[in-house]
Amino acid sequence: MHPSRNTLAEQIRIQSVELLNKHLAAAIDLHAQMKQAHWNVRGPAFIAIHELFDKVSSEIEDYSDALAERAGGLGGTACGTIQVAVEESFLLPYPLGIADEAQHIFAVSGALAAFGEAVREAIGSATAFGDVDTADLFTEISRGIDHQLWFVESHVAPHE
């Protein structure tokens, strides 16, 4: 940890930085997965879904920044390289070789849902060890992920 005048106890800051870096790795992976879908989607609704995936990837990139900056602000080091993301991401690998828009929507919504679930768990973890500000950041990200998931899932007709 770098010296900081942040008044959170160092042990809390260490735990927060670890939690933030875990989710930073997954956010970097998620961003790349969204770009994979954006670049490779094909189908009748191509332009709408292509642009949607690009918007989702941009939102995820913003979350990566917020996670990394919070880690740095706590006196930690943001571990945001591709190498770290490959080693540390908890997301399932994105299926390569698909083009069909329905398959991409299924894969993207699954990745968003998994990341959203992990972020909600992080809210509880950060609260439990005493960092309500990091919990608040995870709450903001959770709301955003749910919003993006809604946009993606809206491209699937509901079954009655």
- To which residue do tokens 């800051």 refer? 13
Whether 145 is covered by a domain: the verdict is yes
**Token digits for 51?**
């642009």
DSSP reduced 3-state for 100: strand
Residue 39 belongs to a domain: yes
The pLDDT of residue 160: 67
- Domain hosting residue 124, numbered range: 10-153
Within-domain flag for 50: yes
Q: Does residue 142 lie in a domain region?
A: yes
Q: At 113, which CATH number?
A: 1.20.1260.10
Q: What is the pTM of this model?
A: 0.95
Residues 147-153: contacts with CB within 8 Å, 24+ apart? 148/56, 148/59, 148/60, 148/112, 149/109, 149/112, 149/113, 149/116, 151/52, 151/55, 151/56, 152/52, 152/56, 152/105, 152/108, 152/109, 152/112, 153/105, 153/109
- Number of structural domains the chain divides into: 1
Q: What is the mean pLDDT of the chain?
A: 96
SS3 for 42? strand
Q: Where would I find the H helices in the chain?
A: 10-40, 46-73, 82-88, 101-128, 132-153
In a domain? residue 160: no
Is 1 domain-assigned?
A: no
2 inside domain: no
Whether residue 92 is contained in a domain is answered as yes
Identify the pLDDT of residue 7. Answer: 87
Question: Can you list the residues of the chain whose pLDDT is less than 70?
Answer: 160
Which pLDDT score, from 0 to 100, does residue 127 have? 98
pLDDT tens for residues 54-70? 999 999 999 999 999 99
- Give the pLDDT score at 12: 97
Q: Using alpha carbons, select from 67, 3, 73, 2 the residue that is nearest to residue 31.
A: 67
51 C-beta neighbours (distance < 10 Å), count: 11
AA letter at 151: F
Tell me the per-residue pLDDT of 72-83, one tens digit each, with 9 for 90 and over.
Answer: 999 999 999 999
Of 102, 96, 110, 131, nearest to 17 (Cα)?
Answer: 131
